[in-house]
Amino acid sequence: MSTVAFVNLAMHGHVNPTLPVVAELVRRGHSVGYHTSPTFAESAGAAGAKVFLYSGGDRPPPDPPIPLTMLGALARATLDLLPGVLADLRGLRPDLIVHGAACPWGAVAARELRVPAASLFTTFAFNRQAPSPTRASRELLASAAARLPDARGYLRSRWALRRRHDTRGLPLLDLANVRQPLNLVFTSRAFQPGADAFDRSYRFVGPSVGARPPGPSFPAVGLRDPVLYASPGTVFDAGPELLRAFAAALAPLGGTVVVATGATDPAALGPLPGNVLARRFVPQPEVLARAALFVTHGGMNSVNEALYAGVPMLVVPQGADQPLVARRVAELGAGLAIDPRDATEDAVRALARRLLGEPRFRAAAVTLRTAQRAAGGHLRAADELEHHLRRADARRER
């Protein structure tokens, strides 16, 4: 059996889809190492990986979360983390390095150690219809001109990387789009915009949602139909006002309304209707399996999980790739989208009533559920990685 190293961004949307893949590789007899931050050490270890912690602990997201600051954060993280990651990998001696597409230190480590690599896209794969956030664009140039210290900081980090490490093949700018001979995309071809434009190095394996344990303390058996679920995700802080609007809007329409408050203390929402259950975190796949409607920020991981369950969505995108995901959901008829600034109690209730009352939304979501499940998920991802390992072994033997 082989040794596989996962090197990834320490963020829920990047880590969660990989854990079922890790568990499956371990089940098949492979040894797996996982580089992450303390927040995800327990979950990676529970999946069966040997955990390696990044130096410096958990890192805050870039502020503000715009492409220019994202570029700077990725370049600085690559400089800071590479020495420790390289030392760990030399001890682990992996046969394959699997890294996030927005994890350039994984790609550089693979090149320096001359280890085959695969890249993971936990959002859309990037093309003209789904543009990478860190691609060269007018918006990026305008941002650089307006924020010269950030632009200079990125260039300094990028130059230091070139001096200290083998950065051949690493994009000059597009550090969120680092590709390899194998690129696993965690959605289906049906949901990916412009899927036919990608070559065979891109494998659309669908959502990876298996093997995550349910939440033992969550009162799933007490939920009353129809279950309506609202979650703002883990990156952006929706704040109590928007969460309160979700709860008040959905309460008259649902049997049980579940609100995941994330960074917001549920107590900050004040008194809520009796059929509203507010928790910081909930076992999302478990709730979606019961849900008739999902009000979501539009993070790709959450949307993939909703489509896997065939649940129509009201998408309230806040930033990053979420507006693009929201447009795709609406375009395919599996939901509706609304700007957060317009998400008043009355507006959310009116759209939710449409989603619950018009069968076409549920029908479109069920059609996408079929495509998402047929793509193969974590089992297909593990198959593709094993095939990639065998091809790499065959090349070495020539």
Reply yes or no on whether the pLDDT at 215 is more than 60.
Answer: no
With bands split at pLDDT 50, 70 and 90, how would you rate the model's confidence at 118?
Answer: very high
Asked if pLDDT for residue 371 goes beyond 90, the answer is: yes
3-state secondary structure of 230: strand
270-280 pLDDT per residue, tens: 899 999 999 98
3-class SS of residue 190: coil
Query: Quick check: 355 and 293 in contact, CB under 8 A?
Result: yes
> How high is the pLDDT of residue 12?
87
pLDDT at 96 over 90: yes
Q: Name the token pair of 317.
A: 């995108």
**Average of per-residue pLDDT values in the chain:** 92
List domains and CATH numbers for the chain. Answer: 3-206+376-397 (3.40.50.2000), 220-374 (3.40.50.2000)
Per-residue pLDDT, 211: 45
Model confidence at 213, in pLDDT bands (50, 70, 90)? low
Instruction: Give the percent of the chain with pLDDT over 70.
Output: 96
Q: Is the pLDDT of residue 212 over 60?
A: no
Least confident of 49-63, 174-188, 304-318, 345-359: 49-63
**Alpha helical stretches, state H, the chain:** 12-15, 18-27, 38-46, 67-92, 104-113, 138-146, 148-164, 239-250, 284-288, 300-309, 322-331, 345-357, 359-374, 377-397
Cross-sheet strand order for the sheet of 31-36:
50-53, 31-36, 3-7, 96-100, 117-121, 182-185, 202-204
Residue 331 pLDDT: 96
User: Each residue of 293-330: pLDDT tens digit?
Assistant: 999 999 898 999 999 999 999 999 987 788 999 999 99
- pLDDT at site 265: 86
Cβ atoms of residues 384 and 203 within 8 Å:
yes
**Number of neighbouring beta carbons within 10 Å of residue 69:** 18
- Confidence tier at 266 by pLDDT (50, 70, 90): confident
How far, in Å, CA of 133 to CA of 71, rounded?
Answer: 9
> In this predicted structure, what is the pLDDT of residue 239?
76
Q: Is the pLDDT of residue 203 over 80?
A: yes
Q: What is the DSSP secondary structure assignment for residue 52, as one 8-state letter?
A: E
Is the pLDDT score of 165 beyond 60? yes
Q: Contact at 8 Å (CB) between 284 and 258?
A: no
pLDDT band at 236 (very low <50, low <70, confident <90, very high): low
* pLDDT score of 356: 97
* pLDDT confidence of residue 82: 96
Condensed to tens digits (0 to 9), the pLDDT of residues 25-71 reads 999 999 999 999 999 999 999 999 999 999 988 888 887 878 899 99
Q: What is the mean pLDDT of residues 8-19?
A: 93
Positive or negative: CA dihedral 352, 356, 361, 364: positive
pLDDT of residue 316: 93
